[in-house]
Amino acid sequence: PPSRLPKVGTTIFTVMSALAAEKGAVNLGQGFPDFNCDPALVEAVSNAMRDGMNQYPPMTGVPALRAAISQKIGALYGRHYDANSEITVTAGATQAILTAILCCLHPGEEAIVIEPAYDSYVPAIELAGGTPVFVQMELREAGYATPWDKVAAAVTGKTRLIIINSPHNPTGSVMREADIQALADIVRGTNILILSDEVYEHMVYDGARHESVCRHQELAERAFVVSSFGKTYHVTGWKIGYVAAPAALSAEFRKVHQFNVFTVNTPVQHGLAAYMGNPAPYLELAGFYQRKRDLFRDGLQSTRLRLLPSDGTYFQCVDYSAVSDLSEAEFSKWLTTEMGVAAIPVSAFYDDPRESGIVRFCFAKKDETLKQALDKLARL
Ligand code: PMP
Ligand code: GLN
């Protein structure tokens, strides 16, 4: 039968991780930490398993975890989400994104995607029968920025959804208050919904604050806000996250959720609920990663790679045009094979791949891993 996703192949993250493993390269490609999570978190999950928390939890998530999430969002961003009707625990942000898109986008409607974009958005839009409409970020002196005038111009009578992602994968750019205001101006008086992918919410550097959509009443009233415990607690393999959305949107979300996964891993939910009471791990995360960012950037200063800003996330983009005129995909392969360090081509985050001479490194690695990579990259 004809494919539902004819353009989709194996994701670039899988491809580059496989190549890194094959070549024995330091893997700064796929975004995941190469260090373990807090043993206290493992203990909390083990306790839940030992205590018999091993059967189906409620469809929307374990009440204690939903309450902890609501409490946290209230404390950090000042918006109250009702734990019963407005927060749903999901199998990672990926499932939250797919489910949010499936529950609100009707066939023939349009969703605006700002590129470069995380790779799961477009297939989700296509599975819903919707049409992605692309607007490209612009690379300015201060880094990648969203041209809101172009987003406004992309809105049509069919626009149902605008997807935003800050802090942003892959560019490491962060939306500021002015970005949020510009977005609010665009959607005011329309039926457009927002899907806000905030999985890197705790990785904003240099003293800036995360402009969660939850802070902004007007936007929050029409938004699905998605986050992931995988990023926050160094457990990307646990695949657990959540969506916060007003009751009416959450009700629609849950209609799809219950036939998508129905429920999410019980002991991990109990473990997280117990562990989340202590805010220190997420409050300290920006400092933890900023130090790694700076270590990595300092090491690259002496190379011909031009560092782009990394204001958030655990990604660092570099312009390699002084080193090579290979395409981004070819350069990433060459770097992995010949230099022993894997990276991700930023072109992979575009529907119509464009060459900017930029690749992405992930610095969520032990200092010794970063130093190993820097030793190898010093030859550039
Ligand atoms: N959105 C973005 C921007 C991401 O970088 C990731 C992590 N790969 C996800 C969503 C998916 O998160 P999860 O692993 O929780 O599904
Ligand atoms: N979010 C991770 C990245 O951008 C990878 C997740 C995945 O492998 N799908 O590298």
Ranges of residues in the chain whose predicted pLDDT is under 70: none
- The ligand minimizing its distance to the Cα of 32 is 2
The fold of 12-30+285-377 is: Aspartate Aminotransferase, domain 1 (3.90.1150)
- Per the DSSP assignment, residues forming a β-bridge with 309 are none
Structure tokens at 195: 């899907």
Q: Give the distance (Å) from ligand 1 centre to CA of residue 228.
A: 7
Per the CB < 8 A criterion, the answer to whether 132 and 182 are in contact is no
pLDDT at 16: 96
Per the CB < 8 A criterion, the answer to whether 27 and 250 are in contact is no
Residues spanned by CATH 3.40.640.10 within the chain?
A: 39-281
Per the CB < 8 A criterion, the answer to whether 319 and 357 are in contact is yes
Bridge pairing between strands 344-345 and 193-197: unpaired
Structure tokens at 15: 């491809």
**Spatial distance between the Cα atoms of 193 and 210, rounded to a whole number of angstroms:** 20
Nearest residue CA, atom 3 of ligand 2?
31
Check if 345 has its Cβ closer than 6 Å to any atom of ligand 1: no
- Determine phi and psi for 352, rounding to 5 degrees: -115, 90
Q: Which ligand 1 atom is nearest residue 95's CA?
A: 16
Nearest residue CA, atom 8 of ligand 1?
31
**Spatial distance between the Cα atoms of 348 and 326, rounded to a whole number of angstroms:** 15
Q: Give the distance (Å) from ligand 1 centre to CA of residue 372.
A: 26
CB atoms within 10 A of CB 176: 15
With the C-alpha atoms ordered 127, 128, 130, 132, is the resulting torsion angle positive or negative?
negative
pLDDT at 276: 97
Nearest residue CA, atom 8 of ligand 2?
13
Q: Which element (helix H / strand E) includes 196? A: strand 193-197
Per the CB < 8 A criterion, the answer to whether 102 and 74 are in contact is no
**Spatial distance between the Cα atoms of 294 and 151, rounded to a whole number of angstroms:** 33
Residues spanned by CATH 3.90.1150.10 within the chain?
A: 12-30+285-377
**Spatial distance between the Cα atoms of 20 and 333, rounded to a whole number of angstroms:** 9
Per-residue pLDDT of 163-222, as tens digits, reads: 999 999 999 999 999 999 999 999 999 999 999 999 999 999 999 999 999 999 999 999
The fold of 39-281 is: Aspartate Aminotransferase; domain 2 (3.40.640)
The alpha carbon of residue 235 and the mean position of all alpha carbons in its chain are separated, in whole angstroms, by 14
pLDDT at 353: 82
Q: Give the distance (Å) from ligand 1 centre to CA of residue 82.
A: 24
**Spatial distance between the Cα atoms of 24 and 340, rounded to a whole number of angstroms:** 7
Per-residue pLDDT of 328-369, as tens digits, reads: 999 999 999 999 999 999 999 999 988 999 999 999 999 999
**Spatial distance between the Cα atoms of 185 and 180, rounded to a whole number of angstroms:** 9
Ligand 1 pocket test target in 118, 265, 362 with most atoms within 8 Å of CB: 118
pLDDT at 261: 97
**Spatial distance between the Cα atoms of 267 and 247, rounded to a whole number of angstroms:** 26
Structure tokens at 356: 């900017």
CB atoms within 10 A of CB 20: 21
Check if 236 has its Cβ closer than 6 Å to any atom of ligand 1: yes
Peptide bond into 6 cis (omega under 30): no
Q: Give the distance (Å) from ligand 2 centre to CA of residue 28.
A: 11
Check if 169 has its Cβ closer than 6 Å to any atom of ligand 2: yes
pLDDT at 193: 98
Whole-structure pTM over 0.80, yes or no?
yes
CA distances from 154 to 111, 112, 151, 220, 279 (A): 10, 7, 5, 22, 40
Check if 196 has its Cβ closer than 6 Å to any atom of ligand 1: no
